[in-house]
Amino acid sequence: MAERLPIYDIEQQIVGGLRESRRLIVSAPTGSGKSTQVPQILLDHGLLGAGQVVILQPRRLAARLLAARVAWERKVQLGHEVGYQIRFENVTSADTRIRFVTEGLLLRQMVQDPKLRGVAALIFDEFHERHLYGDITLARALDLQETERPDLKLLVMSATLDAAPLEQYLKPCRVLESRGRTYPVEIEFAATPGYLDKRPIWDQAAEAFSDFVGSGGQGDVLIFMPGGFEIAQTIDALRRRDEARGFLLLPLHGELPPREQDAAVARYDKRKVVIATNVAETSLTIDGIRCVIDSGLARIPRYDPYRGINTLLIEKISRASADQRAGRAGRTAPGLCRRLWSREEHAHRPQQELPEVKRLDLAEVVLTLKAAGVEDLRTFRWLESPEEQSLAHAEELLTDLGALRTINYQLKPNHQLSITSLGRKLLAFPLHPRYARMLIAAQDYRCVYQACLLAALTQGRDLLLRNVDNDTARHREDLLGDKPGSDFWLLMRAWQQVSANDFRPEACRRLGVHAATARQVGPLFEQFLELARREGLDTTRREVPDEALQKCILLGFSDRVARRLDLGTPRCELVHGRRGTLARESVVQKGPLLVAAEVREVESKDKSVQTLLSLATAIEEDWLRELFPEDIASVPRVFYDAATKRVYAEEQLRFRDLAIGARRVEPPPVDAAARLLSEEVLAGRLALNDWDDGLEQWILRLNLLSQWCPELALPPVGDADRRHLVEQVCHGSFSGKDLKDKPVKAVVKSWLSPAQQQLLEKHVPERLTLANGRAARVVYEPGNPPHIALRIQQLFGVTTTPRIAMGRIPVLLHILAPSQRPVQITQDLAGFWREHYPRIKQELQRKYPRHEWR
């Protein structure tokens, strides 16, 4: 029988709430017993009928340990009434009523069995951590409950939770809170900021432990470290401390064998120190802890845009996570939490970690949703919607991998992409789709063993240090030998070399290998091999041609195919319209085509951003034809070269939207050439000598007359018409030289028929004959009235203002003195002679006595 835990204070409310609404939110602090007792409450009160309760846990270790604890409490054998299911283990049977699972597994079960037959209730535990698969599975469960399974019961549980948004999302539902029983925990911060302490974090933790024990601290100690390597180093550091004598030093993380995990949470007569990852932060309760020493670090899943995958990187935890960790010291008595960072640093940490939907690559989840029949991802009932760019990127990648394809819009106008048979195969592998694609290909090329190592080498931080000295570079060249086809060959050989030397510092230093990263590759490698074996792949180690693995890399990273713009420089053009520069340390410096497994943006000294391509692998054009026949197309291309001022044509071979080859075509298509040349003429970069001011006046006269006298039905020349006329002039030419002295006027004036040209000359003449028989040039300007400029003597005998455009438009007269300077600008010539001329004549006659004055 379990001890009396705080969660039992709201037992009847839980039972009544589920019977009433079928949706329940339970907020209860760590140590209240919610993870182990609520599933039993449902079973013991008959809320499951003949079905089972499935409890979703974010971590595999927690799922296994919680199942073992519940089985022990119920005095049953694990795997019968109580069981668990994680990625590589299924400890359940037909008799299982309480089943602990990790989130991804339940979502996959919902794909295979959309009705979740046999499942009576779902419990989403530790929901405050906002894992991506938890969010997605909850949304799918709500849809299922509202359609096929109205009897399905849903519980969302958390230690710390802002219930208001979730309550709105789950509406209608009930919210219950268990306050629990906790003791005060004293928080101590480091005296100086962590960045000033250059000692490894494990040495800092060991000193904090010694201080605690030396000052008379009682009880067990829990130390939080980010990963297995740091935990092992902490244990070594503690063993060197006198204060640790008599303590059991117990590691706790997900990669340990089950026996060692069980040992960490067991009860002992001796005092113990548990050194754990954040798996001990919420899900598990470790009895007897009176002191927590917190490194403030964790391996947090985050999308790495450089590698295009989700990865675990060591980062600083949020303040909410720090509070969760501190609370572990107040479970049974007042406790102490020592944080290895300063109070000032704490204030600058984020309050909470971003939900995974905001920081992870969505490719795997999108593929799973497509397999589950979700047609429109934009209208999916997200608890918190992802960024549109993240969704679009996931769809683009999955399409490139062949996992999704465009379907007929007429059949489903609101949905563009559906899952392919290959996409369903990828789902069988609980990996990022890139690496699932690589492993499927590796089976065909008999190189699964090497592909697993390659995948393991790219999951964490860079294995090889950058900007190494000449000696290190020389050792790397010697290691690579005569195989410069891929940067991965260097990674694989370097890791094999330091692994053979047990990752000793000297061996790592000699090759510029990051030792901590290298140690983490081995366990990942074994996991990938085990996964491949479970999926029926041949993991036999054998010699394989480099080409086989190169093709596997290409299949996993086909969205990173690049073409060298010039073999003399590292500049490259990639698919999807991107450009980048091949890293200078890459061994792939020859050949026109490559695929880059890593694409990152770096800021230069001048603050400009450069796209750098690394982890490159040389590929062949024939491989693209072989592996992606539907993505290869021959596309005609006509273009203008500004340097030679000439139009060229070529037949371009493209992989998706990337040109990978071209064949010159002569002569270029005349219509396309005319269009390109006309664009250059209109932009002012090419000249037509025969297109002068007179021709511009002709076009302006036409446009003005069509405006002034619309009944004449003359067609004006607009911008599009001008473009058409210039294109007509350029027809048959291929270069600026061809155009230079090409006749233009006849082409432009052919815009009008002979009769229309006569109307133009009649009503908006280039030269206007006045009443005295003199002809004057009319100047037309956009936005101004037409005008003529004549000396006074040239206007003698003209008594009225001349008019054009069927007499509707008066001509503005610029009346000039003999010096050609204007003395009057007017449209009232009669008024000028009557009112202004006598005075002007008197003034000008004295100045110009030799001129005629009437």
CA-nearest of 376, 373, 366, 374 to 401 is: 366
Give CA–CA dist 414/410, Å, rounded. Answer: 9
Q: DSSP string covering 294-328, please?
A: E--EEEEEEEETTTTEEEEEEEEPPHHHHHHHHHG
Give CA–CA dist 245/243, Å, rounded. Answer: 6
| Cβ-based neighbours of 71, under 8 Å, separated by 6 or more | 77, 78, 80, 81, 82, 83
**Global pTM value:** 0.70
Question: With contact defined as beta carbons under 8 Å apart, do 223 and 274 qualify?
Answer: yes
Amino acid in position 480:
L
Please measure the distance between the N-terminal and C-terminal CA atoms of the chain and give it in whole angstroms: 132
Pull the structure tokens for residue 823: 């003395």
Give CA–CA dist 348/351, Å, rounded. Answer: 9
Strands (E), 199-307: 220-224, 248-252, 272-276, 289-294, 297-304
- Please give the pLDDT value at position 192: 87
Given the DSSP bridges, would you call strands 23-27 and 174-177 parallel, antiparallel or unpaired? parallel
- If DSSP codes are grouped into helix, strand and coil, which group holds residue 538? coil
Count of beta carbons in the 10 Å neighbourhood of residue 604: 8
Rounded to 5°, angle at Cα 667 from 664 and 670: 125
Give CA–CA dist 152/141, Å, rounded. Answer: 8
Give CA–CA dist 152/156, Å, rounded. Answer: 13
Q: DSSP string covering 141-200, please?
A: HHHHHHTT-TT-EEEEEESS--HHHHHHHH-S-EEEE-------EEEEE-SS-GGG--S-
- Please give the pLDDT value at position 305: 59
- Please give the pLDDT value at position 283: 66
Rounded to 5°, angle at Cα 568 from 656 and 562: 20
Average pLDDT per run of 10 along the chain, which is 854 residues long?
75 92 87 89 94 91 90 94 87 95 85 91 87 88 92 88 81 84 87 86 95 93 92 94 93 84 88 89 79 92 62 83 87 90 92 81 88 86 87 91 77 67 89 91 96 88 81 80 80 90 89 86 89 92 94 95 87 90 87 89 64 91 95 93 94 93 92 95 92 92 95 94 94 92 91 94 94 93 93 92 94 93 92 91 87 86
- Measured CA distances, 240 to 206, 210, 244 (Å): 9, 11, 8
Pull the structure tokens for residue 521: 């590759």
Question: With contact defined as beta carbons under 8 Å apart, do 488 and 617 qualify?
Answer: yes
Pull the structure tokens for residue 494: 């370097």
Three-class SS of 82-131: EEEEECCEEECCCCCCEEEEEHHHHHHHHHHCCCCCCEEEEEECCHHHCC
- The label of the residue with tokens 């939080």 reads 224
Strands (E), 324-422: 335-339, 404-406, 417-419
* Rg, Å, the chain Cα set: 40
Rounded to 5°, angle at Cα 638 from 637 and 642: 130
Q: Which residues of 488-513 are buried (b: 16+ CB within 10 A; e: fewer)?
A: bbbbbbbbebbbeeebeeebbebbbb
- Please give the pLDDT value at position 598: 87
φ, ψ dihedrals at 217, nearest 5°: -60, 140
- Please give the pLDDT value at position 261: 85
Question: With contact defined as beta carbons under 8 Å apart, do 190 and 59 qualify?
Answer: no
Count of beta carbons in the 10 Å neighbourhood of residue 388: 10
CA-nearest of 49, 678, 596, 83 to 308 is: 596
Query: Residue 624, Cα to own-chain centre: how many angstroms?
Result: 25
Give CA–CA dist 308/29, Å, rounded. Answer: 37
Strand partners for 564: 572
